[in-house]
């Protein structure tokens, strides 16, 4: 489990998923060398999609990627284990190559609970499982020892999306196990790979897929000077895309770049403030 991966946005039109635009956005990722697309994660506003919409987004991603070198890492997370299992089984049935499953949010499970949750989820399917650790959103931290135990004891748990912002976690995971660590924070994509990470799940690559693909591929080949250079070039953009809660800024940036025909969010998410719109547009001029 490695490479350049894009946490896809979900476009809406008149309150519904814009399937035509969604398919075009995925094809753009394929055309620009992205290794994996990640439908219906945090960036895809999965929290406000119905289960039918969630499943349809997975179907579209699989359909568009079929016959290409780009694989599908389908979002299949929930704070209810049986719901996560339902989504995971659907993703496997439809042809997703692997699933990404966020740690259960709101109900704040213990480390034992997290272990049992992921074990049950992984045992329900045969495709690989990627853990997703983002305690800033979930209030549920997958501790290093828990992630390593899951990797060692559950055959198809193969990777973890690390979005704590702590390089120390990356070093600990890589030094103590063979689990693939995937960056979940665009600002530190290069440092994470340089510390032993195997790839990134990027928000920025919605907008600049080739840049992120080049950053990741050069780093994985050991071309660290080139990778570091790209990471530094993208720093200002990476930062402004998190000036408000993700995916608010990236969807606005995509709209301003002409890649979205309409700008729609699902409540409680709303458009950026006028002040932040101006900041985003100012930074975009340097990259487009």
Closest-CA residue to 26 (of 44, 14, 13, 46): 44
d(CA 76, CA 58): 10
Sign of CA dihedral 102, 107, 108, 110: negative
20 CB-near residues (< 8 Å, 6+ apart): none
pLDDT at 238: 97
pLDDT at 105: 95
Adjacent-strand bridge partners of 131 = 101, 160
Q: What are phi and psi of 200, to 5 degrees?
A: -140, 150
- pLDDT tens, 134-168? 999 999 999 999 999 999 999 999 999 999 999 99
Tokens of 192: 């994470």
pLDDT at 9: 98
CB 189 within 8 A of CB 202: yes
Is the overall model pTM greater than 0.75, yes or no? yes
Q: How far is CA 254 from the centre of its chain?
A: 17
Low-confidence stretches of the chain (pLDDT beneath 50): none
d(CA 13, CA 265): 9
Which residues are catalytically annotated?
132, 161
pLDDT at 22: 98
Sign of CA dihedral 183, 265, 45, 65: negative
């Amino acid at each position: 489990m490695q490479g350049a991966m894009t946490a896809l946005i979900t476009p809406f039109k008149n309150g519904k998923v814009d399937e035509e635009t969604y398919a075009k956005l995925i094809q753009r990722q394929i055309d620009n060398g992205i290794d994996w697309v990640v439908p219906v994660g945090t960036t895809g506003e999965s929290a406000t999609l119905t289960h039918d919409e969630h499943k349809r987004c997975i179907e579209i991603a699989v359909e568009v990627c079929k016959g290409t070198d780009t694989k599908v890492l389908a979002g299949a997370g929930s704070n209810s284990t049986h719901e996560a299992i339902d989504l995971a089984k659907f993703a496997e049935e439809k042809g997703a190559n692997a699933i990404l499953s966020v740690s259960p949010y709101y109900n704040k499970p213990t480390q034992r609970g997290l272990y049992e949750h992921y074990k049950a989820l992984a045992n329900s399917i045969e495709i690989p499982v990627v853990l997703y650790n983002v305690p800033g959103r979930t209030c549920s931290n997958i501790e290093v020892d828990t992630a390593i135990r899951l990797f060692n004891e559950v055959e198809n748990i193969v990777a973890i999306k690390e979005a704590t912002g702590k390089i120390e976690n990356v070093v600990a995971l890589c030094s103590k196990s063979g689990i693939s660590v995937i960056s979940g924070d665009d600002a530190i994509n290069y440092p994470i790979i340089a510390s032993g990470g195997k790839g990134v799940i990027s928000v920025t690559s919605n907008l600049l897929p080739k840049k992120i693909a080049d950053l990741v591929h050069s780093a994985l080949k050991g071309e660290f000077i080139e990778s570091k250079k790209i990471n530094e070039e993208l720093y200002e953009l990476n930062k402004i895309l998190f000036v408000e809660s993700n995916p608010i800024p990236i969807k606005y940036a995509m709209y301003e770049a002409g890649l979205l025909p309409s700008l729609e969010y699902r409540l409680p998410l709303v458009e950026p403030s006028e002040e932040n719109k101006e900041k985003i547009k100012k930074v975009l001029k340097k990259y487009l």
